[in-house]
Amino acid sequence: MKSGIFVTTVNDKSIYSFLIETICRKHKIQNKDLIYIFNFKKNFHFQILIKFIKIFFSKFFFDTNLFAKLEVENCQIGRHVLAQVFSIYKANTNVIYFFLFKIFYLIKGLIIIDYLKKNKDQIRIMYVDHGVYLNGIFFNFFKKKKIFLYSSNFPKGIFCKNLLNSKKNLRFEDFVRIKKDNTQ
């Protein structure tokens, strides 16, 4: 992967094409080869299954409270996997669906972390759509990295966070928090 790459979690279609083009203009990205649209299928490999099996047979997988606190590579993954699973109606009404979706999204989360770990030095700009679910892993992974992070989340809408100067260990909630003004 080339250095200085711009990674996005959305396809370059509809309104997202405007957002991606705007971000490219701001950062003077003229070479379209520097834009990478994250894809789970392209980034899946055998080592991810080994990591999944280790987690599956650990104490974390079957205890939902422990699973919510699960971290891989110093990145919170369990809470984002559970948020994705609980967003599916069938997973809330059937234990088997819950179990299957938990496996599916845990593997997807491990794919994200593996990709980010391998390419963390090349990624300089990132657009993450809706970080409350599985995409929140991108926020957690880059909490201490030097990148520009763009996102579209409720309640803020579209925002940019320059992590080049950030010294804080940020969580997803810190990105979307609206600060109260003292207007008395």
Q: At 109, is the pLDDT very low, low, confident or very high (cuts 50, 70, 90)? A: very high
**pLDDT on residue 49:** 93
Q: At 1, is the pLDDT very low, low, confident or very high (cuts 50, 70, 90)? A: very low
Is residue 182 pLDDT above 60, yes or no? no
**pLDDT tens figures, 159-176:** 667 665 555 655 555 555
**pLDDT on residue 104:** 96
Q: At 69, is the pLDDT very low, low, confident or very high (cuts 50, 70, 90)? A: very high
As beta bridge partners, residue 128 has 151
Q: Where are the domains of the chain?
A: 5-18+29-41+123-176, 43-114
What is the mean predicted confidence (pLDDT) over 74-96?
93
Which stretches does DSSP call E strand in the chain? 5-8, 35-37, 71-72, 75-76, 123-129, 148-153, 157-162
State the average pLDDT for the chain: 82
What is the mean predicted confidence (pLDDT) over 16-31?
83
**pLDDT on residue 9:** 81
Q: How far apart are CA 84 and CA 82, in angstroms?
A: 5
Amino acid residing at 128: V
Q: At 98, is the pLDDT very low, low, confident or very high (cuts 50, 70, 90)? A: very high
Is residue 157 pLDDT above 90, yes or no? no
